[in-house]
Amino acid sequence: MEKAKILIVGAGPVGCVLAERCANELLVPVQLIDKRSHIAGNCFDRQHESGVLIHQYGPHYFRTNDESLVHYLSQFTEWIPGNYFVTSFYNGQYFPFPINLLTLAQFFGKESLTPEEAELLLEEKREKIENPKNSEEFVLSRVGREMYEAFYLGYTVKQWDMHPKELSTSVCGRIPIRLNTDCRYVDHAFQLTPKDGFTAMFTKMTTHPLIDIQLNTDYKTITEKPAILIYTGPIDEYFNFCYGKLAWRSLSFDFKEYSEEFRQPNVQINYSNDFDYTRTVEIKHVTKQEHPHTVISYEYPQAEGDPYYPIPTNENHELYLKYKALADKETAENNVYFCGRLAEYKYFNTDEVIVNALHTFESIKKKHGN
Ligand SMILES: Cc1cc2nc3c(=O)[nH]c(=O)nc-3n(C[C@H](O)[C@H](O)[C@H](O)COP(=O)(O)OP(=O)(O)OC[C@H]3O[C@@H](n4cnc5c(N)ncnc54)[C@H](O)[C@@H]3O)c2cc1C
């Protein structure tokens, strides 16, 4: 292979998509590096020692409203339907989550509820807060204190080590409240899982004679300057933390094997008021793998470790904007493109980062394509 013209740092979804686009459309050699020992970034799935397919870095529920994105990814995978059902464990019972008519009926001990009855009930429960300023006020103004304390408060404190009062409305505001009996976790038009897993999909995407993948390779060790650099690592690290460190929330995952086919009723159970972990995940409910054993992942939020969630405070956002100004200059002057959740310090779902990567490719093509 001739000398790579494009270096891509990070072989997560963004790095893999950009490698594929550059190789297939610009027809130039691409060097794709990752400091981890695998591709696929946080979407990485693998076989557990038991043979059960697990999601190494938390459950990944692929969903999108963008049909053209499904079309693009279908070149690299077949799909199975995404069965994403979440329950919240409270007082010894499992409640459908996000809150819907069934949750409301079960929680308030009613046989059933019509949307109109639910609306009246919620009207009674809601706290009258006109312009909610934080996540606590937001939830209180939508569902009232009892359900806030049952489903949101403890979970949010565990997840962020911050009180919902300290977090913007967007943190709890992202979760819908439905006045119907739809128990699916998300509302998107396409809810799909790659048939053989995410790692298989990204492997197919990057298997190309012009793509050279080097794993266990940190960008820090690269000395040669490429003509074009696509950087999907942490933005503050790229600039040697010159303005200080951006804060992230991390997680640790404890995988336990059980000699039974299924252990829990659905893929994900949230624990707001019990245990130190926030959720347990049995991804077999989604992958539909046939196996006599199962594996549950116990998810523990923590301050230290791999960066998973940007901490949504104004202070962190301001700091990011300072780095963004440097990044824009670097793009204009030195052909360095920043894309992805670490480089943009933003929580994106996989569909969103892939769409962003495709847009970044269009900018690169416009400037550097023949
Ligand atoms: C717990 C959790 C659950 C999630 N669940 C969902 C979900 O259900 N549905 C969904 O759509 N999305 C989900 N996501 C989001 C999804 O993981 C991201 O959208 C996606 O992985 C982002 O892709 P990326 O390429 O930007 O970053 P990443 O996947 O993080 O990839 C970046 C890569 O860059 C590498 N890297 C960093 N620095 C360097 C360096 N200096 N040198 C070399 N390599 C480097 C990293 O090792 C990593 O492999 C979840 C994320 C988390 C954390």
pLDDT in tens, 192-235: 999 999 999 999 999 999 999 999 999 999 998 899 999 999 99
Mean pLDDT of 8-25: 98
Ligand 1 pocket mutation pick from 20, 339, 350, 360 by most atoms within 8 angstroms of CB: 350
Query: How far is Cα of residue 11 from the mean position of the Cα atoms in its chain?
Result: 16
Calculate ∠ Cα 314-277-260, nearest 5°. 140
- Give tens-digit pLDDT for 130-171: 999 999 999 999 999 999 999 999 999 999 999 999 998 988
Give the domain range for residue 18: 6-46+195-245+310-368
Q: Helix or strand or coil: residue 85?
A: strand
Tell me whether residue 37 is in a domain: yes
CA 256/CA 18 separation, integer angstroms: 35
Token couple for 183: 């128990």
Tell me whether residue 272 is in a domain: no
356 and 238 co-located in one domain: yes
Tell me whether residue 276 is in a domain: no
119 and 162 co-located in one domain: yes
Mean pLDDT of 66-72: 98
116 and 24 co-located in one domain: no
Say how many residues make up the chain.
370
97 and 215 co-located in one domain: no
Quote the pLDDT of residue 2.
62
CATH (domain of 355)? 3.40.50.720
Nearest to 335 by CA among 239, 226, 196, 246: 226
Tell me whether residue 289 is in a domain: no
The protein residue with its alpha carbon nearest to ligand 1, atom 35, reads: 10
Region of poorest pLDDT, from 9-18, 114-123, 169-178, 334-343: 169-178
- CA–centroid distance, 127 to ligand 1, in Å, is 38
* Residue 120 confidence class, pLDDT cut points 50, 70, 90: very high
CA 242/CA 158 separation, integer angstroms: 31
- Give tens-digit pLDDT for 317-333: 999 999 999 999 999 99
Quote the pLDDT of residue 283.
98
Q: In DSSP terms, which residues pair with 268 in a beta bridge? A: 86, 281
DSSP class of 192: E
- Give tens-digit pLDDT for 254-281: 999 999 999 999 999 999 999 999 999 9
**Ligand 1 atom closest to Cα of residue 309:** 53
- CA–centroid distance, 138 to ligand 1, in Å, is 29
142 and 14 co-located in one domain: no
Tell me whether residue 79 is in a domain: no
Q: Helix or strand or coil: residue 280?
A: strand
112 and 158 co-located in one domain: yes
Mean pLDDT of 334-347: 97
Nearest to 91 by CA among 172, 29, 150, 169: 150
**Ligand 1 atom closest to Cα of residue 61:** 8
The domain tally of the chain equals 2
**Statement: residue 1 has pLDDT above 60:** no
Tell me whether residue 294 is in a domain: no
- CA–centroid distance, 341 to ligand 1, in Å, is 7
Query: How far is Cα of residue 354 from the mean position of the Cα atoms in its chain?
Result: 12
241 and 108 co-located in one domain: no
The answer to whether the CB of 143 falls within 8 A of the CB of 122 is yes
Q: Could you tell me the pTM of the whole model?
A: 0.96
18 and 108 co-located in one domain: no
- Give tens-digit pLDDT for 40-58: 999 999 999 999 999 999 9
Q: Average per-residue pLDDT in the chain? A: 96
116 and 232 co-located in one domain: no
The answer to whether the CB of 305 falls within 8 A of the CB of 250 is yes
Quote the pLDDT of residue 156.
96
- Give tens-digit pLDDT for 95-106: 999 999 999 999
Tell me whether residue 20 is in a domain: yes
Q: In DSSP terms, which residues pair with 203 in a beta bridge? A: none
Q: In DSSP terms, which residues pair with 61 in a beta bridge? A: none
Residues of the chain with pLDDT > 70: what percent? 99
Pocket of ligand 1 (CB under 6 A): 9-15, 33-36, 41-43, 57-62, 218-219, 232-233, 251, 308, 340-342, 348-351, 353
Whole-angstrom Cα Rg for the chain:
22
Tell me whether residue 31 is in a domain: yes
The answer to whether the CB of 134 falls within 8 A of the CB of 173 is no
218 and 364 co-located in one domain: yes
Q: Helix or strand or coil: residue 33?
A: strand
Ligand 1 pocket mutation pick from 44, 60, 192, 270 by most atoms within 8 angstroms of CB: 60
Quote the pLDDT of residue 174.
79
CA 32/CA 212 separation, integer angstroms: 6
The protein residue with its alpha carbon nearest to ligand 1, atom 45, reads: 10
**Ligand 1 atom closest to Cα of residue 217:** 43
Which residue, 138, 173, 208, sits at the end of a domain?
A: 173
Q: Residue 119: which H helix or E strand, with range? A: helix 115-125
219 and 360 co-located in one domain: yes
132 and 200 co-located in one domain: no
Quote the pLDDT of residue 22.
97
**Ligand 1 atom closest to Cα of residue 58:** 1
